[in-house]
Each structure stands twice: as C-alpha cells, then as structure tokens.
Amino acid sequence: MEQLAQIVAEAPARLASVADLAELETLEAELVGRRSVLAELQRNIGSLPPERRPEVGRALQQARAELERLISRRRAELEREAENLLLEDDRVDVTLEAYRLPGGGEHLIQQTIEEVCEIFIGLGYVVATGPEAELGYYNFDALNTPPTHPSRLESDTLYLDWGDPADEVLLRTHTSPMQARFMEAHDPPVYVVVPGKVYRADTPDATHSPVFHQIEGLAVDRNITMSDLKGTLAHFAREFFGPGQRIRLLPHFFPFTEPSAEMHAACFHCEGNGTSCRVCGGSGWIELMGCGMVDPAVFEAVGYDPGDVTGFAFGMGVERLAQVRHGLSPIRHVFENDVRVLRQFRGIA
Ligand code: PHE
C-alpha cells in the first residue's frame, strides 16, 4: 500500500513529462493496466483477512479513480496540443503573393467597333451583321457594279466560286452588300450600321492587309439630303475624336452612290501644321471613309421606289480609325496581336 501511495503521489509529475499520446498510453498501462502494481494489489485482495478487505478495497478503488482522473486530464491536454499542431501545419499564409493569371480584355478592333456602333445607336440606328462568304450578286450586281468593273477581277477579289457571274461566291470585299440585304428584308425608313470583316487580294504592307474590318452605314427615308450625310458624319467625328473636330467631303466615285465622296477629318495631331506629321503625313487631313447618296439603281435592285425615298451610305475602315485615333504606325500593329501593343488598350471604353 505504501508503494501504491508513492505511485499516486508521483503520478502528476510523470504524466506531465510524457510528450505525446503514445507515451501516455505506455504510462497508462504501467499505472492502471493489467500488469500494474494497482491491478496486482486488487487481484490479491482475496488473500487478506475478510475484515480488512472492504477498507483496502475502497482505498485501492480510490487510488484507481484518482489515477484515471489524472490520466484522462493529461489525455485531453495532449489531444488539444495535437490538434493545434495540425492546424498550425495546415495554415495558409494569405498574405503571400499569389500567382496572377493575366486578365483578358477586348481587342482594340472590337472596342473601336463598339464605340462607333454606340455613337450611331445614339442617333437611332440599329446594328446588323451579314455573311463574309457573299454572293457576287450582293457584293457587286445589286450595288450597281457591272460585271466588267475592275474590282471584280481575281486580282482584286478573293473568289470561293468563280466563273459564272450569275452564281459567283466570294469573300466580301466590303460591308456594302448588307445595304442590299437589309433593304430587301426591311421596309423604309432604314437606319442601320453593319460592322464586319472584309477581304481583298492585297499583299500586306504598311497600309494594306488582305483582311480588315469595316463599318457600313445606311440611312433611307423621305427627303434625306447630302446635308444629312454631312451632318451625321460631322457628329460622328466629334463624338469619336472630340468636340470641335472638323471634316470635309471630297468628290469621289463609287458605283452604288451618286454623288460620292471621300470623308476626311482634320488631323487632330498636327492640325495641318506639321509637314512630317506621323498621323496625316503632312496634308492636315485624314481619309476616314467613302460615302455618298444611295444610287437610284440600288433602290431599284432591292424593290424600293427611288421616287419615294432617298438615302445616304458610308463605309469606314475600323483599323484605320483605331490607327489614327491612337497614332499607331504601321497599321499592322492594330491587328498583329502583339500583346505589348494590345495591353495598352485594355481599359479604354
Ligand atoms: N464600300 C466602299 C469601300 O469599301 C465604301 C463605301 C460605302 C462608299 C458606302 C460609299 C458608300 O470602299
């Protein structure tokens, strides 16, 4: 019994010195297990005289209860420690610099298309799109362009199916075929802009690319005049380049407009003062688009009455707009997809 009393007295210190749950289990077996001094004493209780048994039995029971209480307290402590260690191991340092995936953005060409369309939507126009593989009929015939016109040669136009002018299929050389398609499908009045890709048999150089983008515009109504065309294009230029922007119309020729014009914007970079201006080349003017009053022959081709309606049309190059706006030279910077260029235009509206 004396030995047991000592075991109980030393138990707190010994328990405190175990480092983990495995060590605790070993100590537990030694203190209260089947081979412990305590178990041995409890087993031998029968060899005591009967009158001493209850007293000794109670004392042994108390010693066991005390030891088990100490053990379970230490176990709870060790379990908590083990848990904390796990949490510490699993900790994520959210202040560490994370790997950032590069964010995408709209391409400069798409941004430009959207900006131009927004300006015309503000004037009541709708936006439409049409096929890039187009019938020769819509690309040329419906637009008053005879089979003998030089732009119909294979040296200018990329044909998918060539030979019989009646069912030629080609990559559209401009967005103008949508003038005819849209009028065929809608009664006047018509106010529509058509952005899209166009193709020409051009070798790429500083100012040419075999594929580029245009935005077509068409307005057909009663009493539309050339001043409506000029006012609309001046409004567009001021919205796109800034207030005070001046424009001019120079006589030109297109088979599907009469009269026809080239629209120029005053060079916003040098305002006509720089002989070596990188934007306009020194002329003081930048050519932005072709335009004109819709030729009566086009109205006839789509079933409109040229005695009843008049209209104007225009077609602008998107790469060119983006190029002059941002002073990008050569023009291939606009479509070559060099991220060092594109990155600079990720945020513009
Ligand atoms: N389609 C002409 C071109 O590609 C531009 C244009 C459009 C001219 C509409 C007049 C009217 O050059």
The tens digit of pLDDT for each residue in 38-90 reads: 999 999 988 999 999 999 999 999 999 999 999 999 999 999 999 999 999 99
Residue 347 is predicted with a pLDDT of 63
Which atom of ligand 1 is least distant from the CA of 260? 10
Residue 349 is predicted with a pLDDT of 40
Using the 8-state DSSP alphabet, how is residue 95 labeled?
T
- The type of residue at 114 is E
Token representation of residue 30: 């030694």
CB 249 within 8 A of CB 265: no
Residues in contact with ligand 1 (CB, 6 Å cut-off): 174, 176, 254, 257, 260, 290-292, 313-315
Using the 8-state DSSP alphabet, how is residue 98 labeled?
P
Token representation of residue 28: 């537990």
Stated as kind and residue range, the H or E segment containing 292 is strand 285-294
Residue 135 is predicted with a pLDDT of 96
pTM: 0.71
343 Cβ contact partners less than 8 Å away, ≥ 6 residues apart: none
Best mutation site among 289, 293, 319, 321 for ligand 1 pocket (most ligand atoms within 8 Å of CB): 289
At 261, is the secondary structure helix, strand, or coil? strand
Residue corresponding to tokens 């001493």: 52
Which atom of ligand 1 is least distant from the CA of 289? 5
Listed residue (282, 311, 290, 281) closest to 299, CA to CA: 311
Distance of alpha carbon 224 from alpha carbon 294, whole angstroms: 10
Residue 4 is predicted with a pLDDT of 86
Distance 107 CA to ligand 1 centre (A): 24
Token representation of residue 109: 């060409």
* Domain 108-345, CATH: 3.30.930.10
Distance 255 CA to ligand 1 centre (A): 9
CB 330 within 8 A of CB 341: no
Distance 152 CA to ligand 1 centre (A): 15
Which atom of ligand 1 is least distant from the CA of 174? 4
Best mutation site among 200, 254, 262, 295 for ligand 1 pocket (most ligand atoms within 8 Å of CB): 254
Distance of alpha carbon 289 from alpha carbon 102, whole angstroms: 36
Which atom of ligand 1 is least distant from the CA of 315? 7
20 Cβ contact partners less than 8 Å away, ≥ 6 residues apart: 78, 82
Distance 131 CA to ligand 1 centre (A): 17
Residue owning the nearest CA to atom 4 of ligand 1:
174
Distance 291 CA to ligand 1 centre (A): 6
Residue owning the nearest CA to atom 10 of ligand 1:
291
Checking DSSP bridges between strand 310-317 and strand 285-294, what pairing results, if any?
antiparallel
Using the 8-state DSSP alphabet, how is residue 207 labeled?
S
Q: Output the average pLDDT for the chain.
A: 91
Burial 248-282 (b: 16+ CB within 10 A, else e): ebeeeebbbbeebbbbbbbbbbbeeeeeebebbee
Residue 19 is predicted with a pLDDT of 92
Which atom of ligand 1 is least distant from the CA of 317? 4
Distance 139 CA to ligand 1 centre (A): 11
56 Cβ contact partners less than 8 Å away, ≥ 6 residues apart: 1, 41, 45, 48
Sequence ranges of the domains in the chain? 2-90, 108-345
Stated as kind and residue range, the H or E segment containing 127 is strand 126-127
Counting as low any pLDDT under 50, the low residues of the chain are 348-349
